Amino acid sequence: MRRCALFATLLSFAGCLQSESGSDVDGPTWHAEVAPLLADRCGACHTDGGIAPFSVQTYDDAAPWASAMADSVQSGRMPPFFATESDECDMQIDFLDDVRLSDEEKTLLSDWADAGAPQGDPATAAPTPMREVNHLENPDAVVKLPQPFEVSGDRDIYQCFRVEVGNTEDIWLTGLEVIPDNDLVVHHVLVWNDPEDNSAQRAGADGSYRCSGQPDVWPSELVAAWTPGGSPTRSPEGSGSLFHPGAVLVVNVHYHPTGTTTEIDQTEVALTWTDEQPANHTTWYLMDIPFGAESDGQFQIPAGEAAHTETVSLTVPNLIPWDLPVFAITPHMHYLGTEMLVTQRSDDGDTCLIHAPNYRFDFQTQYVYDRNSGQLPVISPGDTIDVRCTYDNSPSNPFLDLQLEAAGESNPHDVGWGEETGDEMCMAMVGLLIPPIDWLQIAGGF
């Protein structure tokens, strides 16, 4: 474009315009390179009616965002897929649904923005199929929160809903998709199996109860976690999560009220299952600071520190008689969390399970290993897992205001462990394949 302006004095204006929209523009153009790249990597969310603030479906929608897009991919804020190879993490296996951009693709977006977002020639347009929103195919059932729920006020609400599935035989859940009803207020959703229906005693007439970030009933087991833009939870082929007749789902919704309006939500959950016993069961192990340790003051993120780390370690007891393949990991921290590294120490050396710099509370992406690209990592008894969390409790953290609001504070302050959004956590949700035993029944005996 700059070249065009220079030549404008020599060439006819019409000729210049033509070269601007014509095929002889230097560098990348919308039609030739940019549109297909954005459609594939950003299109699942940045689409008309999608969860993101603008669409990349047409030139007119996307061009005004050219610089912002280049900046967001350079800084690693977008796309919200944060797992990566790094000096600290030599991954041996890929992740599914990896929408990251290569360095060349990032440069392409910067060059395009620097050149003033040229449109190029529609005749050179490459095919631009928008990435499909990743839905669960052919659900066996779609269940709903028992009643519409009113969300108002200005404090976050964790509400647990008791949801019946209605199966009359044992089933093994293989897929689960949360379909949020009111996007304005549904912040994130955890779905638990409550095998003994203990939530019946907790729930009021509307089938729900106020709870912490957990279902607050035992025994219980996490079966899926969802945040905006997240994919459905699918268990690897030949595995599933045992669900007895009479069990219920506890759908734990974290609502973030608008502060000014009363909103109504009745979120749904789509399920797929098999009624044939699979070779493996799946379970999510929540690796967090040890029970009771929150009160010893060890976990403390000092006010003003921009890169404070906490490490949570766990050695798998030798009592456990199996090797445990890991199929997925979801890092979980709150607004101060900026980076998570999960590594495994074993007799054979160290293995990196995931490194997620640029972590963000608003996108708690679930990272699922692609079994076609390598062997699943396997945790053996005696191995130690280290979860290292990094926090920014300083004004350089763009989410500090949200943290302060959630904590009801006006200045940075020391932050300790806790489940409220204004506290912090250092939790890796680790998706494991286990032998087909009814471990919840065993756990319920304790």
70 vs 251, which CB is nearer to ligand HEC? Answer: 70
| Among residues 25, 28, 35, 46, the one that binds ligand HEC under rule CB under 6 A | 46
Q: Please tell me whether residue 51 binds ligand HEC under the rule CB under 6 A.
A: yes
Interacting stretch for ligand HEC, rule CB under 6 A, among 7-15, 69-77, 166-174, 278-286?
A: 69-77
CA torsion, points 377, 314, 215, 264, in degrees to nearest 10?
Answer: -60
Distance CA 411, CA 242 (A): 47
As measured in angstroms, the least distance from the Cβ of 188 to ligand HEC is: 13
The CA-to-CA distance between both ends of the chain, in Å, stands at 71
Interface residue with ligand HEC among 69, 113, 176, 427 (CB under 6 A) is 69
Q: Which of residues 336-365 bind ligand HEC (CB under 6 A)?
A: 362
Taking the complex as a whole, how short is the minimal distance between the CB of residue 397 and ligand HEC, in angstroms? 14
Return d(Cα 77, Cα 159) in angstroms, integer.
30
53 counts as binding ligand HEC under rule CB under 6 A: yes
CB of 36 to ligand HEC, least distance (A): 12
Residues 6+ apart with CB under 8 A from 269: 142, 143, 144, 163, 176, 177, 178, 179, 191, 249, 251
Question: Closest distance between ligand HEC and the C-beta of residue 45, in Å?
Answer: 3
368-395 residues labelled b (16+ CB within 10 A) or e (exposed): bbeeeeeebbbbeeebebbbbbbbbbbe
Q: Is residue 49 classed exposed, middle or buried when 0-12, 13-18 and 19+ CB atoms within 10 A define those classes?
A: exposed
CB 422 within 8 A of CB 378: no
Q: How many residues in the shown chain lie near ligand HEC by CB under 6 A?
A: 22
Q: Which of 44, 249, 251, 253 binds ligand HEC (CB under 6 A)?
A: 44
CB closer to ligand HEC out of 53 and 127: 53
Decide if residue 279 touches ligand HEC (CB under 6 A). no
Rg (CA), the chain: 24
* 54: exposed, middle or buried (Cβ count in 10 Å: 0-12, 13-18, 19+): middle
257 binds ligand HEC (CB under 6 A): no
- Residue 42 binding ligand HEC, by CB under 6 A: yes
With 0-12 / 13-18 / 19 or more C-beta atoms within 10 angstroms meaning exposed / middle / buried, residue 24 is exposed
* Positions in 360-399 near ligand HEC (CB under 6 A): 362
Which window, 75-83, 339-347, 387-395, 435-443, contacts ligand HEC (CB under 6 A)? 75-83
Residue 229 engages ligand HEC in binding (rule: CB under 6 A):
yes
CB 5 within 8 A of CB 116: no
Q: Structure tokens of 198?
A: 């203990």
Residue 78 binds ligand HEC, judged by CB under 6 A: yes
Q: Are 7 and 16 within 8 A, CB to CB?
A: yes
Angstrom distance (rounded) from CA 68 to CA 59: 15
CB of 178 to ligand HEC, least distance (A): 14
Q: The tokens of 352 are what?
A: 């990196």
Give the shortest CB-282-to-ligand HEC separation in angstroms: 23
Please tell me whether residue 8 binds ligand HEC under the rule CB under 6 A. Answer: no
Under the binding rule (CB under 6 A), the answer on residue 286 touching ligand HEC is: no
Instruction: Verify binding: residue 73, ligand HEC, rule CB under 6 A.
Output: yes
Q: Does 129 bind ligand HEC (CB under 6 A)?
A: no
Q: Which residue from 77, 155, 202, 254 is in contact with ligand HEC, where contact means CB under 6 A?
A: 77
Rounded CA-CA distance 92/95 in Å is: 10
Q: Does 186 bind ligand HEC (CB under 6 A)?
A: no
**What is the contact surface with ligand HEC in residues (CB under 6 A)?**
41-42, 44-46, 51-53, 65, 68-69, 72-73, 77-80, 99, 101, 228-229, 362
